[in-house]
Chain A
Amino acid sequence: MAVGHAEGPGQNLLLTRLEDVISWARSNSLWPLTFGTSCCAIEMMMASGASHHDLARFGAEVTRPSPRQADLLIVAGTIVKRMAQPLRTLYEQMPEPRYVIATGACVISGGPFIYHSYSSLRGVDDVIPVDVYVPGCPPRPEGLFYGILTLQRMIRERAGLKHPEERRAPVTAALPEGITKQEIQAEMLELFEAQGRRNVHEEYRRTVSDPGAKGAYPGRGERG
């Protein structure tokens, strides 16, 4: 946000564009629609409802039971073809500007149902436009947070007040700059270890070195 600052005698002034202020406010008060169809929705509830992760930090915890009060649609879970029309109707009922986050493999591409399913949608972007894709099966709450933060940045930087419906190229919730995948993996392993009270590092290393070994990560030999 472009901000100018001026001080006169006995007063403080903040100079900015109205559009920037509104985008800033809008990005910090996203109201998601209460909509979930399968396991990703459990993870979404974990993120938005449970106190451990506390979505309220980012101003997006007020899930609305009516599409007319919501401006963020988090599509969480497999969308079957029968559900496609109600989903589109929900999207149409939301007031503009409206944003869509697609979480999980099923919503992005069809996931495990991509091959021979007669009933599942292969990617929700067949039906509604998607702003942010969050990969995972399902993504952890942190993943969803990153998707929401990405959307917030998008709203602040690019979505204009004058053109709220102008669609930009969808973004994938990519890795933050300067952080590698290996670092995230190591951190996740540590988290698992802290929760499960077992040495996951060691088990992981053993599985990698000896695929036949038994442990938390079944090697190929074990699966046959």
Chain B
Amino acid sequence: MKKAVRGHAPDADALKERDQDLLQLLQSLLGDEIQSHRHGMDMLELVIRPESASSVSRLLRDSEGLEFDYLMDQTAVDWLGRREIRFEVVYHFYSTKHNRYLRCLAPVPESRPEVSSLYELYKAADWYEREIHEMYGIRFAGHHDMRKLLMYDGFKGYPLRKDYSMKGRQPLIGPGSRQES
């Protein structure tokens, strides 16, 4: 039986060929910062260290030939029970000049959930990082404002972590509210 392929997924070999020169450029510029790389189904993926996310992004943004000037998305994944390093922060970059995409993955251990902030480089990272911090409890070193973005201030816990209790109910705070049962 033929495996279902998503809508316009390009051919894997064609993608590999397309990203070959990008990969060479990245390897020459970043060197040891790249822990490993992978040709994903839609774009090139780099695994980087969480503490160097900011410096790597600066190189990606400012280096000639790369110019990844647009942070498309930033999110996190909880690999509870599936991987040794529990969290992973995912960055999607896009270069408007070269029409190229790049995905960076930063594995973050549960014992020290901290990543360097991209806020100084991309203003878009401001709310992305606040949301990740609120939902996964990952801190961003160098971010100017780590208040909650979507939930109210009294909310406890990190709801998008896989071990957050689904049936947990938190009391509603504020004027006139009664306890939620």
Q: Which residues of A contact B (CB under 8 A)?
A: 80-82, 84-85, 88-89, 92, 116, 118-119, 121-122, 126-128
Contact = CB atoms under 8 A, between A and B. Distances in A.
A88 B177 contact: yes
A84 B155 CA distance: 13
B151 A119 contact: yes
Interface stretch (B44-52, B58-66, B120-128, B159-167): B159-167
A122 B164 CA distance: 19
- A-B pairs, 10 with minimum CB distance: A118-B159, A85-B174, A116-B166, A82-B152, A88-B176, A88-B175, A81-B152, A127-B177, A126-B178, A82-B151
A18 B29 CA distance: 85
B151 A127 contact: no
B180 interface: yes
A180 B174 CA distance: 43
B176 A118 contact: no
19 contacts: A81-B152, A81-B155, A81-B172, A82-B150, A82-B152, A84-B174, A88-B176, A88-B177, A116-B166, A116-B167, A118-B151, A118-B159, A118-B170, A119-B159, A121-B172, A126-B172, A126-B180, A127-B176, A128-B176
Contacts of B170: 118
A159 to B, nearest CB: 21
Given A89-B175, A92-B175, 18 more contacts: A80-B150, A81-B155, A81-B172, A82-B152, A84-B152, A85-B152, A88-B176, A88-B177, A118-B164, A119-B150, A119-B159, A122-B180, A126-B172, A126-B177, A126-B178, A127-B172, A127-B177, A128-B176
A118 B168 contact: yes
A128 B176 CA distance: 8
B77 to A, nearest CB: 18
A178 B162 CA distance: 52
A118 B167 CA distance: 9
Q: A81, A89, A116, A122: which has the most chain B beta carbons within 10 Å?
A: A81
B151 A81 contact: yes
Interface in B123-178: 150-152, 155, 159, 164, 166-168, 170, 172, 174-178
Contacts of A127: 172, 176-177
Contacts of A121: 172
A88 B176 CA distance: 8
A198 B14 CA distance: 47
A88 to B, nearest CB: 5
A101 B150 CA distance: 26
A80 B170 CA distance: 13
A126 B173 CA distance: 11
Contacts of A128: 176
A92 B175 CA distance: 10
Contacts of B174: 84-85, 88
A11 B150 CA distance: 66
Contacts of B168: 118
Contacts of B167: 116
Contacts of B175: 85, 88-89, 92
Contacts of A116: 166-167
Contacts of A92: 175
A31 to B, nearest CB: 23
A190 B170 CA distance: 46
A118 B169 CA distance: 7
